[in-house]
Amino acid sequence: MNITVLTGSAHKNGTSALLADRFIEGAEEAGHAVTRFDTAFLNIRSCTGCGTCEYGKNPCVFDDDMTAIAASLKEADLVVFVTPLYYHMMSSSLKAVVDRFFGINDFLYEAKKKGMILVTAGDADDWNFDGIKAWYKTDMRYLGWQDAGQLYAGGCYTREDIEKTDCPDRAYQMGRQLAG
């Protein structure tokens, strides 16, 4: 299985980075090919909705790191979104990538792909994840993708906090137990 992992944290050793690392470790041990993009460290312009791309028929007007991400997404069987929770949603760097899906919509839409989401948050209240859960559910439905798993890790302000939970092991198992 070809897997594209999109992370959204600017903290290379933070809570969501740990989940991404552990998921990838499990997936690679299971024999899957994984490509990771740490969006906070890439040059990704915001989509302007100009329409020049015609939903993937033409190249985007921006020649940035989204070109490599789009190529990986095209080949991916599974797309994994990994992000810290920022105001009940994904980070802005990951959101910029998702917004650019507009320009590659034709090969993402109903492409029989799978999606997965791993989210960390400082606050432990489950309702804090309602916004991102709604986005994820809506995007999976819109794209026609199958949900392959969700992990929401609350109460994890620091790496030390998340290391005291079973969430890193759960992320590892999510990767390790992928079929196909």
pLDDT for the residue 113: 96
Query: For residue 149, is it left (φ>0), alpha (ψ between -120 and 50) or beta?
Result: left
- CA pseudo-torsion sign 132, 82, 26, 101: positive
Residue 131 within any structural domain of the chain: yes
Residue 152 within any structural domain of the chain: yes
Which range of residues forms the domain containing residue 56?
Answer: 6-12+24-176
Q: What is the pLDDT along the chain (180 residues), one digit of tens a residue?
A: 999 999 999 999 999 999 999 999 999 999 999 999 999 999 999 999 999 998 888 889 999 999 999 999 999 999 999 999 999 999 999 999 999 999 998 889 878 899 999 999 999 999 999 999 999 999 999 999 999 999 999 999 999 999 999 999 999 999 999 986
Residue 1 within any structural domain of the chain: no
Residue 108 within any structural domain of the chain: yes
Cα separation, 5 vs 40, in Å, equals: 13
CATH number at residue 60: 3.40.50.360
pLDDT for the residue 14: 96
Residue 50 within any structural domain of the chain: yes
Residue 165 within any structural domain of the chain: yes
Residue 19 within any structural domain of the chain: no
Count how many domains the chain has: 1
Residue 17 within any structural domain of the chain: no
pLDDT for the residue 56: 81
